[in-house]
Amino acid sequence: MKCSYACGSSEHLIARRAFLGGVATGLGASALNLGTLVQPAAARNLVSQQKRVLCFFMSGGLSQLESWDPKPGADTGGPFRAIPTSVPGIHLSELLPHTAQQMHHLALVRGLNTSEDDHGKGRYLMEKGRRKMPGIQYPHFGAVSAKALGTEELALPGYIHITPGGGGGTSNDAAYLGPKYASVVLGNGNPPQNSVRPKAVAEDSATRRQKFRQRVNDHFARNRRTAETDAYTESYEQARRLMERRELFDVSQEPEKDQERYGRHDFGRHCLLARRLLEADVPFVQVSHSNYDTHNENFNFHLEQVSEFDISFAALVADLADRGLLDHTLIVVMSEFGRTPRINHYYGRDHWSKAWSVVLGGCGVQRGAAVGKTNERGTEVVDGEVDHGALFHTYLSAVGLDSTGEFDLGGRKMPMADPAATPITELLA
């Protein structure tokens, strides 16, 4: 179904999320065989020191005026009030009351100017830190994180994307880093497709088949190994490991009270799944929430969607803090752009990249900070202007990486981030 309020670009020819989807209940322990993880105090003793990233992508273009940078009373401000947060002097939209109570774990970047109002190009530069250029594809933030933060011992993919749409398919979002670091997409938060052993194949038979395959594969690789055969082998092994850990994707194993706190809707289930993946040391988890492309009825749609986001996001931030995971997890809430201060004749807001906001939090970030400022109508940045390149450097620096570092690709050096940009130093802890 096409969203009638959206701009009609190809990025938005998708179905809206099932708003009232039920979640099966259950009281099973964590799928990691670490049942004590449901207790925050015990989790603090078990938490891994590995750095990880949790990225929320607000597909379509979240309005900064109805979220992170409200302008109540201005002719551009809209109908919603600004409310105080857990950080004195910082206010958010009244649509985010739960997130407001977690502001001391977060930081605002209110001076963003990316100068790109196209959905596809805007998403590209926000997720890859560079503008699209002919003849070259840059890797997604998730692929960079998977390669730089992952370990060879990790049994799970390094980059998992939880999306309200369909899963499966192929992706080249790792670009020159190779398919090993490309995203594994969990459509509607469901386990990877075809990840259950056929009932007709007994477990011992499957084990024998696997051992035989490995022997034949190793023999072939000794004589005819290529980049293509390596990619195939890695894809097969990744699929096999996913089958062994399939129970990790079953959020019904979480306590009933957690399922209730996160919300009885798809996005709540997706956030709960993200927490399980982070507990399993997945280096990069992205959760998409859609659709914010509100050219029509901006205020009604934000009232629904931001309110849904608020409950689940705040519960996840609080849990990461309580379980000791936030000190090792970078949180990023981004979009492809913001929305116009001007309200159009359909009571909507259009695409706006000249003055908008993103949110960071967790490890390596000055918590409770607000960097950058827009004018009283929200039409332009008046202090601390930054762009996508500076943000990408900041993300990498926050998780302890040298953002000026390079990947060695068969002797060719490829910068991890745009060499022309630098981190936002006042945002780093």
280: its two tokens: 């399993």
Residue 222 within a domain: yes
> Do residue 75 and residue 136 come from a single domain?
yes
CATH code (residue 156): 3.40.720.10
Q: Are residues 50 and 150 in the same domain?
A: yes
Q: For residue 178, is it within any domain?
A: yes
Q: What pTM does this model have?
A: 0.85
Determine the pLDDT at residue 190. Answer: 84
Q: How far is CA 20 from CA 17, 129, 132, 164, 409, in A?
A: 9, 35, 38, 13, 46
> Which secondary-structure segment (H or E) carries 322?
helix 298-322
Is the model's pLDDT at 20 over the cut of 60?
Answer: no
At 5 the pLDDT is 62
The answer to whether residue 5 is domain-embedded is no
Residues 29 and 174 both lie in one domain: yes
Number of independent structural domains in the chain: 2
Q: Are residues 169 and 203 in the same domain?
A: no
Q: How confident is the model at residue 1 (pLDDT cuts 50, 70, 90)?
A: very low
Q: First CA to last CA across the chain, in angstroms?
A: 44
What integer pLDDT is reported at residue 9 of this predicted model? 66
Please tell me the least confidently modeled range out of 227-241, 317-331, 332-346: 227-241
- For the cut 80, the answer to whether the pLDDT of residue 132 exceeds it is yes
Task: Identify which of 341, 318, 343 has the alpha carbon closest to the alpha carbon of residue 329.
Answer: 318
Rounded to an integer, what distance in angstroms lies between the CA atom of residue 417 and that of residue 53? 16
Say if residue 375 is in the same domain as residue 399: yes
Burial class (CB in 10 A: 0-12, 13-18, 19+), 412: exposed
For residue 409, is pLDDT > 70? yes
3-state secondary structure of 57: strand
Same domain, 94 and 168: yes
pLDDT at 165 over 70: yes
Does residue 35 sit in the same domain as residue 150? yes
Question: Is the model's pLDDT at 33 over the cut of 90?
Answer: no
> Which residue range forms the structural domain that includes residue 423?
10-191+255-427
Find the helix packing angle between 119-128 and 141-149, rounded to 10°.
20
Q: Does residue 245 belong to any structural domain of this protein?
A: yes
The H-assigned helical ranges of 8-140 are: 40-46, 97-100, 119-128
Residue 210 has pLDDT above 80, yes or no: no
pLDDT digit string, tens, across residues 228-259: 676 666 666 766 776 677 788 899 999 999 99
- pLDDT for residue 314 is more than 90: yes
Average confidence (pLDDT) over 24-50:
43
- Residue 1 domain-assigned? no
Within a domain: 211: yes
Q: What is the pLDDT of residues 82-110, one digit of tens each?
A: 999 999 999 999 999 999 999 999 999 99
Q: Are residue 384 and residue 236 in the same domain, yes or no?
A: no
Which of 25-39, 98-112, 224-238, 360-374 shows the lowest mean pLDDT across its residues? 25-39
175 and 202 part of one domain: no
Residue 141 shares a structural domain with residue 286: yes
pLDDT at 304: 96
Q: 67, 97, 79: which is closest to 358 by C-alpha?
A: 67
Picking from 228, 249, 270, the residue at the C-terminal end of a domain is 249
Same-domain pairing of 287 and 367: yes
Buried b (16+ CB within 10 A) or exposed e, 223-237: eeeeeeeeeebeeee
Asked if the model's pLDDT at residue 27 lies above 70, the reply is: no
- CA–CA distance, 357 with 86 (Å, rounded to integer): 19
Whole-angstrom CA distances from 255 to 27, 36, 41, 265, 282 are 5, 12, 16, 16, 22
Q: How high is the pLDDT of residue 344?
A: 97
The answer to which of 36-45, 246-255, 365-374, 394-403 has the lowest mean pLDDT is: 36-45
User: Residue 4's pLDDT is what?
Assistant: 60
Q: pLDDT grade, residue 151 (50/70/90)? A: confident
**What is the chain's mean pLDDT, rounded?**
86
Query: Does 228 share its domain with 303?
Result: no
pLDDT tops 70 at residue 186: yes
Task: Return the bridge partners of 381, or none.
Answer: 374
Residue 164 belongs to a domain = yes
Spatial neighbors of 286 by CB under 8 A, at least 6 apart, are: 54, 55, 56, 57, 142, 159, 160, 161, 162, 183
316 pLDDT exceeds 70? Answer: yes
Average pLDDT of span 53-63: 98
